[in-house]
Amino acid sequence: MLSDSKIRAAKPKAKLYKIADERGLVMLVMPNGSKLWRFRYRFDGKEQMLSLGVYPDITLADARERREEMRRKLAHGQDPAVQRRIEQIAKADTFEAVAREWYQKFSGQWVPMHAKKVWARMEKDVLPWLGTRPIADITAPEVLTVARRIEGRGVLETAHRAVAAIGQVMRYAVATGRAQMDPTASLRGALPPIKTKKHMAAPTSSKQVAEILRGFEAFKGTLQVGIALRLLPLLFCRPGELRQMKWAEVDLDKAEWRFVASKTNVDHLVPLATQAVALLRELQPLTGKKVYVFEGRPGRPLSDAAINAALKRMGYDTQNEITGHGWRAVARTLLAEELGFRPEVIEHQLAHAVPDTLGRAYNRTKYIGERKHMMQVWADYLKGLVVKRL
């Protein structure tokens, strides 16, 4: 721990060296005799160092006060270096200043993968051209020029996403009194439309799945929706079947869920992995005395838009990244390609109409031994993805 006497006694050497105080505060003693205050901290898994001033202009007491200010920012999930940059450029009300403020305010509600993509796109495609412009002066033609520059690279979808992000920043500027209008509102139809994809949006790699699952773990909405989000990947049933799940259909002791499949209208059985049972037991004190496991209004299940609405609030593009229904495609692909399960076993668990010489009434329990094993292996695999950094 430093004291004024120790600081005064520190003499320069041929190379700079550090002397530590505590709680991240250090002093750099330079070869020329200068003594510089630095704050060492970790943010997002990376060690960083932030300047706090020069001794003796900034005394030991001053440096400790500034260190505590930085630690308070960290405690609120803010990167002190980013916050300093925001404060430095905020007076000018440039597009970059407002964009950083907007991102800092809202990105905590998004999943990490989406947040990183949004800011990476902003830094690459928007800030170099609009960053230093006073936000109140930005016009629709300027934004269109930015968008067409991106479109010219052959990435039309990215151009649309950039315009959408610019629009969010502009609307935030309007709401906070730093701009009069959102110029992107005038650009409707200025870019060619994106061709609609016919398949249900779903992640295509284990890395993408891992990022989304970590986002689900950090979901800040209601307990019911949070558990529904985490159960869908485990059960890969149709979202409508999950939201209409009834407690009478669930046997937690046997780890089974029995119901009539909505599309094939046949009895279906879903073996519940230990992780799924744990989630349902967590929800049981809240809705266990009600009809529906996921109750919306009294006596009614969650609305059919609840899952996708939650995904959108978390920052997902439900047209191109993931939908509630998309987990069925994820499971079908990864169970076969990554975990090596037989297609017919997977298809039965998906409650698809599979040819059966014994009759469709037997589909509920066919391959049940393999299916129970598969569902537990699948749940363990997903848990491993969350824990492991790919």
Q: Determine whether 238 is an active site residue.
A: yes
Where is 278: in which H helix or E strand?
helix 274-287
362 is catalytic: yes
List, as one string, the DSSP characters of 48-115.
EEEEEEEETTS-HHHHHHHHHHHHHHHHTT--HHHHHHHHHHHTTTBHHHHHHHHHHHHGGGS-HHHH
- Beta-carbon neighbour count of residue 242 at 10 Å? 23
389 by Cβ neighbours in 10 Å (0-12 / 13-18 / 19+) ranks as: exposed
With vertex at residue 241, the alpha carbon angle to CA 240 and CA 246, rounded to the nearest 5 degrees, is 120
Q: SS3 of 197, please?
A: coil
Q: How many helices (H) and strands (E) does the chain have?
A: 16, 7
Query: Which member of 114, 325, 332, 371 is catalytic?
Result: 325
Catalytic residue among 263, 281, 300, 342: 263
Instruction: Check 352, 364, 373, 383 and give the catalytic one.
Output: 352
Say how far apart CA 363 and CA 349 lie, in whole Å.
9
Residue of 117, 161, 238, 243 marked active site: 238
- The two tokens of residue 127 are 């800030």
| Known catalytic residue at 352 | yes
Which of 117, 230, 328, 348 is catalytic? The answer is 328
Q: What are phi and psi of 326, to 5 degrees?
A: -65, -20
What string of DSSP letters covers 280-306?
Answer: HHHHHHHHTTSSBSSBSSTTSBPPTTH
Which distant-in-sequence residues (6+ apart) come within 8 Å of 23 by Cβ? 67, 68, 71
CB atoms within 10 A of CB 197: 9
To the query of whether residue 325 is one of the catalytic residues in this protein, the response is: yes
Rounded CA separation 351/341 (Å) = 16
Catalytic sites, residue numbers? 238, 263, 325, 328, 352, 362
